[in-house]
Amino acid sequence: MSSPPDQAATYAAAGVDVEAGERAVDLMRSAVQSAQRPETVGGFGGFAGLFDASALTRYRRPLLATSTDGVGTKIAVARALDIHDTIGIDLVAMVVDDLVVCGAEPLFMTDYIATGSVDPVRIASIVSGIANGCRQAGCALLGGETAEHPGLMAPDEYDVAGAGTGVVEADRLLGADRVRSGDIVVAMASSGLHSNGYSLARYVLLGEGRLGLDAHVTDLGRTVGEEMLEPTRIYARDVLALIEAVEVHAVSHVTGGGLAANIARVLPPQFAAHITRSSWSPMPIFDLIGREGAVPQAELERTFNMGIGMVAVLPPAAVGPAIALLGGRGVAAWACGEVRARRDGEVGDAAAKGVDGGAVRLVGVHPAR
C-alpha cells in the first residue's frame, strides 16, 4: 500500500490554473463585447449565447446555415513568431466565407480554444483576433470556450476551432441549380496563402534549412514569416453586397483542394468551367513555394488558392457591374473563366470534394512576371 502524499492534490498541481483562466476572461471581455449585433441577448459570460431570431423580420422563409472549421498548421507559424492576434481573423474567415457561399448572412460565431497551459495574454490576443474578424464579417461573437489540457498538449501549444450560423431567404439560396451554360466565373483576389496548404508551405520554406521565418525575400517585399502570417481575407460583406446588386448564380470559397475542386462543387454535373490561367498572375508567394520546393504546377494548384480566394458565377451581363462593385470595395476582381456544356468524357483537373459536381479545367499558362 502506497504512503499518502506529502501534500493534498489540487487542480493547479495537476496543471490546470483556474486563476489564469479567469484572468484570460477578464482580458478578452472588451474584445468580445465589441463584436455584437442588435439581436444579441444577454451579457458576457453566460453558459450559452442567445440570439433573438424573431428580430429577423425581413425574411419570409429563413433558412439557417451553419459551418465549422479551424485554422490548421498556420498556428505553428503564429507560435514560432509569438504573434497571436491575427489567427482569429483566419478562423472567422474560414467559417463565415463558407456561409456566404449559399447566400447566407453570417449572424453569429462561437469559438473553442484548447491549450496546454492558459497564458492569459496569449488567449486574450487570440480572442481579440476572433472579435476583429467578426466585426469585419458583421456577425456577433456569441460565446466560446477555453480548455486547458496539461499532459495532452505542451504548455505553449494551442488549437482553435469555430462554428458559425447564418440565414438566407429560401428563394434566394445560391447553388449549382442556378448555374447556366455561358455563365462567367469572376475571381476575387486572395490576400495570400489564406489558411490552406501550410503543411506543404512550411515543409518547403522552413524545412531542410531552405529559408526561415526571418528571411527577407525581395519578391515578397517582406519576411517569409510576415507573408505566411498575413490574415485570410474576409469576403462576407463584399459577397452579400454583390448578391444584392447583381444577379449571382453561385459562389465558391477557394480553400483546401484549390480552384478546380472548389469551383466544381458549385457546378451541375452536366457543365464544365474553363478557367484561363492567363487572366491573372499568382502572387509571389506561390512562385516562391514552387521554386524552392520544385513543386509541380498541378500540386500547387490542388493545394493552394493561387491568388484567388473566392469566385462568383454569374450571367455575362452582370460581369462588368460585379467587377466594378467589388473593386469599389477594395477587392480586386476579374473574369477568369466560362461555364460550358460538358462534353462526353470530359474530365476536370480535380474532383469536387464530396459532391457529384461539374468539371473544371485550368487552361493556358500564367503570364510571366
As a whole number, mean pLDDT of residues 296-312 equals 96
Cα–Cα distance list, 215 to 266, 286, 304 (Å): 39, 16, 22
Q: What is the CATH number of domain 15-167?
A: 3.30.1330.10
Per-residue pLDDT tens over the stretch 9-33: 766 666 666 676 677 667 667 766 7
Distance CA 165, CA 141 (A): 11
Per-residue pLDDT tens over the stretch 148-198: 999 999 999 999 999 999 999 999 999 999 999 999 999 999 999 999 999
88 near 179, Cβ under 8 Å?
A: no
Residues of the chain with pLDDT > 90, as a percent, come to: 75
Per-residue pLDDT tens over the stretch 198-207: 999 999 999 8
Q: Residues of CATH 3.30.1330.10 domain(s) within the chain?
A: 15-167
Q: Residue 362 — φ and ψ, nearest 5°?
A: -95, 120
Give the Cα-Cα-Cα angle 99, 280, 288 (nearest 5 degrees): 90
pTM, two decimal places: 0.92
Residue 4 clears pLDDT 70, i.e. is over it: no
Which residues make beta-bridge pairs with 69?
Answer: 162
Q: Residues of CATH 3.90.650.10 domain(s) within the chain?
A: 174-361
Residue 110's H or E segment, with its range, is strand 105-115
* Dihedral over alpha carbons 57, 61, 64, 65 (to 10 degrees): -120
The beta-carbon contacts of 363-369 under 8 Å, at least 24 apart in sequence, are 363/274, 363/275, 363/276, 363/277, 364/276, 364/277, 364/278, 365/277, 365/278, 366/277, 366/278, 366/280, 366/281, 366/282, 367/278, 367/280, 367/281, 369/281, 369/284, 369/287
As a whole number, mean pLDDT of residues 206-223 equals 90
Cα–Cα distance list, 286 to 172, 227, 276 (Å): 36, 11, 17
Pairing of strands 105-115, 140-148: parallel
Alpha helices in 100-157 (DSSP H): 120-137
Residue 298 pLDDT class (50, 70, 90 cuts) = very high
Give the Cα-Cα-Cα angle 195, 196, 202 (nearest 5 degrees): 95
Give the Cα-Cα-Cα angle 219, 335, 367 (nearest 5 degrees): 35
232 near 194, Cβ under 8 Å?
A: yes
334 near 279, Cβ under 8 Å?
A: yes
Which CATH architecture describes the domain 174-361?
Alpha-Beta Complex (3.90)
Give the Cα-Cα-Cα angle 36, 41, 47 (nearest 5 degrees): 100
Residue with cell 449559399: 102
What is the per-residue pLDDT for 350?
Answer: 78
Residue 6 pLDDT class (50, 70, 90 cuts) = low
Q: Residue 337 — φ and ψ, nearest 5°?
A: -175, 180
What is the per-residue pLDDT for 170?
Answer: 96
Q: What is the residue type of 205?
A: L
140 near 35, Cβ under 8 Å?
A: yes
Could you write out the DSSP letters of every residue in 264-294?
HTTS-TTEEEEEEGGG----HHHHHHHHHHT
Joined together, the cell numbers standing for residue 281 give 498572375
Which residues make beta-bridge pairs with 13?
Answer: none
Residue with cell 507560435: 79
What is the per-residue pLDDT for 113?
Answer: 95
Longest dimension (CA), the chain: 83
Q: Residue 311 — φ and ψ, nearest 5°?
A: -130, 150
Per-residue pLDDT tens over the stretch 247-289: 999 999 999 999 999 999 999 999 999 999 999 999 999 999 9
Residue 234 clears pLDDT 80, i.e. is over it: yes
DSSP label at residue 150:
B
Q: How many C-beta atoms lie closer than 10 Å to residue 142's C-beta?
A: 27
The region of weakest confidence among 97-101, 108-112, 344-348 is: 344-348
Distance CA 318, CA 94 (A): 27
